[in-house]
Amino acid sequence: MPMYKAPLRDVRFLLNEVFDYPAHYASLPNGEDATPDVVDAILEECGKFCEDVLFPLNQTGDEEGCHFENGEVTTPKGFKEAYDQYVAGGWQGLNYPAEFGGQNLPMSMALLKAEMIGTANWSFGMYPGLSIGCMNTILLHGTEEQKSTYMPPLVEGIWAGTMCLTEPHCGTDLGQVKTKAEDNGDGSYSVTGTKIFISSGDHDLTENIVHIVLARLPDAPAGTRGISLFIIPKFLPSADGGIGERNGVTAGNIEHKMGIKASATCVMNFDGAKAFLIGPPNKGLECMFTFMNTARIGTSIQGIGAAEISYQNSLVYAKERRSMRALSGKKEPNAPADALIHHGDVRRMLLTQKAVAEGGRAMLYYATKMADHMGIAITNGDKESYDHWDDKLGFLTPILKGVLTELGLESANLGMQVFGGHGYISEHGMEQYARDARIATLYEGTTGIQALDLLGRKVLLTTKGKAVRDFTSEIAKFCRDNLANKQMRPFVWELSKIVTQWNYLTVRIMLQARKDRDLVGTAANDFLMYSGYAVLAYFWAQMAAVAFEKLEKGGNDEPAFYQAKIQTAEFYFDRLLPRAKAHADSMLKPTKSLMQMEPEHFHFL
């Protein structure tokens, strides 16, 4: 049977020993209550909720899936009861202002919570997760009336939120959006159109659902410059803050998917639905990115979760399952065969999963410090501060989303491989993790879209390479600070080479792209993956430095924990970081071999 244990020791290691979150929280205006004891208590309770309530529903929810009948969606057995417990625990409002019923804790607390929830039951986590971006969008761009109307029930969790962007004829290219909005003359609008792939578009968990919808006004300019953003509730709010009459929005169907089957993915029909403009007219795409950036960071958590849950179950199986003898001789002479964990290739798979899960978690916790500052800006409606921190986090967002979901999928596939034939059947749960993880590389922008966002927009267009220079300057400082430490020199040497190579690659692409614009597209995926392996190397080196320091000081009762950190870092640098070299070689190759074939020559006859 599958199992899940909240990785609280690793979480505490990152919070307290690597990134010094206690000092970080103490420096924030909303961090006063986020004391180490409070944070630890919240994480403990969240861990129990995930282990005892959510994880047992993961496999059953996958088997049952969601139900659709007469335009209404019903979630699998047990989900409504679990969600009611989630609401009763105050989990949805953890980081939102007290004036709306929240606990006013830093935004990172919500992301730490989301990682455990998503790992235990990603389908469940989608429902409250979609509300986060909705609330952030309303806080940053909504009017005071919109905030007072929608925020309290959303913060409490009795209402949920979605984002409705994609349409049948367009996916990422939102300039093709056709959904129409017409002014009713009373401060409201009438919206008509169809949206597809809407996660949590309809369900039975909450009494109301607030849709954030992209639509086009009649006189709007063509393309992305003519899109506006609207609030469209399933039920119109009543004067007393409850729910009133049903709005003109219904689910037309739910998608039948290979994974996250307990998460309702809906076709949503807006038939003259009453809507309320949020943000300026024709500026909806800019406002929407408040939602999208939140969603992309949230999706990166799925990559970490896939690696973590796959590793936990693979490790147990590898210690129990016996097959053949180790090549170096019998390890368990009293048993008929040695456990799988004694075989080198199985260790390769386990250590890859461990390196991705723990290294990805470090990347996330680093990024969430910036998210805390963004959260304060959102709460205060301070767009200038929000833009500053959004730019800093923006460089890491496509790396977090693109690379961690790809490596999370790889880790889930490795988990199936550790189980062998047993990984392919549903009993052990491993095939579900692989199916669930597959979607993470697709939604909220495919890996290719993340790659173009990183290289084309964040590095070349917006910052002219400065984003890479700034981040590698931080790595270079770490190298200087640790150069005198003999134990750290192997890591420092490799990181120093990365600092030089990453900047060199960026400049070479900038120069070559002036002559051949196609290079941006042909190099983007390799640049993204190279960047991801480089960032992971930086954080594994940081974790190794802390572990060396702890072991040198002595006096702790967990030497095995710190030794494992060092050994996993060594594995990462020896076995996974070399992948970056292949990406470096590939990204600078001429575009000819990719672009020379005529479209009609792509055939299968």
Q: Average the pLDDT over 233-251 and give the result.
A: 95
CB 562 within 8 A of CB 487: no
CB 177 within 8 A of CB 192: no
- What percent of the chain has a predicted confidence (pLDDT) above 70? 98
CB 462 within 8 A of CB 468: no
What is the per-residue pLDDT across 60-112, written as a single tens digit (0 to 9) for each? 999 999 999 999 999 999 999 999 999 999 999 999 999 999 999 999 999 99
Q: Residue 525's closest CA among 454, 597, 599, 439? A: 454
For residue 292, pLDDT beyond 90? no
The predicted structure's pLDDT at residue 27: 94
φ/ψ of 398, rounded to 5, equals -65, -30
Residue 373 or residue 491, greater confidence: 491
Q: Average the pLDDT over 466-494 and give the result.
A: 97
**Cα–Cα distance between 110 and 518 in angstroms, integer?**
40
Query: Would you call 578 exposed, middle or buried from its count of C-beta atoms within 10 A (0-12, 13-18, 19+)?
Result: exposed
Reported as a pLDDT band with limits 50, 70 and 90, residue 377 is confident
Which amino acid appears at position 524 of this protein? Answer: A
**Cα–Cα distance between 470 and 49 in angstroms, integer?**
40
For residue 32, pLDDT beyond 90? yes
3 state SS of 271: strand
Reported as a pLDDT band with limits 50, 70 and 90, residue 298 is confident
What is the per-residue pLDDT across 311-358, written as a single tens digit (0 to 9) for each? 999 999 999 999 999 999 999 999 999 999 999 999 999 999 999 999
For residue 7, pLDDT beyond 90? yes
> Tokens for 415?
């988990």
For residue 172, pLDDT beyond 80? no
> Tokens for 485?
């430490």
CB 531 within 8 A of CB 508: no
Residues 6 or more apart from 597 whose CB is under 8 A from it?
none
The predicted structure's pLDDT at residue 441: 95
For residue 378, pLDDT beyond 80? no
Reported as a pLDDT band with limits 50, 70 and 90, residue 600 is confident
Strand-strand pairing, 228-233 and 208-215: antiparallel
Instruction: Catalogue the E-assigned strands of 141-298.
Output: 159-164, 180-183, 189-199, 208-215, 228-233, 235-237, 243-246, 249-254, 265-277
CA dihedral 8, 12, 14, 18 (to 10 degrees): -160
Q: How many residues does the chain have?
A: 605
Q: Residue 505's closest CA among 524, 518, 521? A: 524
The predicted structure's pLDDT at residue 1: 83
Alpha helices in 258-335 (DSSP H): 284-320
Query: Would you call 358 exposed, middle or buried from its count of C-beta atoms within 10 A (0-12, 13-18, 19+)?
Result: buried
Q: Average the pLDDT over 250-275 and give the result.
A: 97
Q: Residue 279's closest CA among 192, 186, 208, 215? A: 215
Q: Average the pLDDT over 196-211 and give the result.
A: 97
Which secondary structure element, helix H or strand E, spans residue 460, and what is its range?
A: none
The predicted structure's pLDDT at residue 567: 98
Reported as a pLDDT band with limits 50, 70 and 90, residue 415 is very high
Q: Catalytic: which of 167, 410, 444, 494?
A: 444
The predicted structure's pLDDT at residue 348: 98
What is the per-residue pLDDT across 422-434, written as a single tens digit (0 to 9) for each? 999 999 999 999 9
**Cα–Cα distance between 439 and 118 in angstroms, integer?**
14
Task: Answer yes or no: 444 catalytic.
Answer: yes
Reported as a pLDDT band with limits 50, 70 and 90, residue 482 is very high
DSSP code of residue 339? B
> Tokens for 205?
């968990």
Beta bridge partners of 67: 74
For residue 223, pLDDT beyond 90? no
The predicted structure's pLDDT at residue 375: 80
| Lowest-confidence pick of 266-270, 378-382, 443-447 | 378-382
Q: Average the pLDDT over 153-181 and give the result.
A: 88
The predicted structure's pLDDT at residue 400: 96
**Cα–Cα distance between 379 and 107 in angstroms, integer?**
10
What is the per-residue pLDDT across 244-259, written as a single tens digit (0 to 9) for each? 999 999 999 999 999 9
> Is-above-0.75 flag for pTM?
yes
DSSP code of residue 40? H
For residue 186, pLDDT beyond 90? yes
For residue 555, pLDDT beyond 70? no
**Whole-number mean pLDDT of the chain?**
94
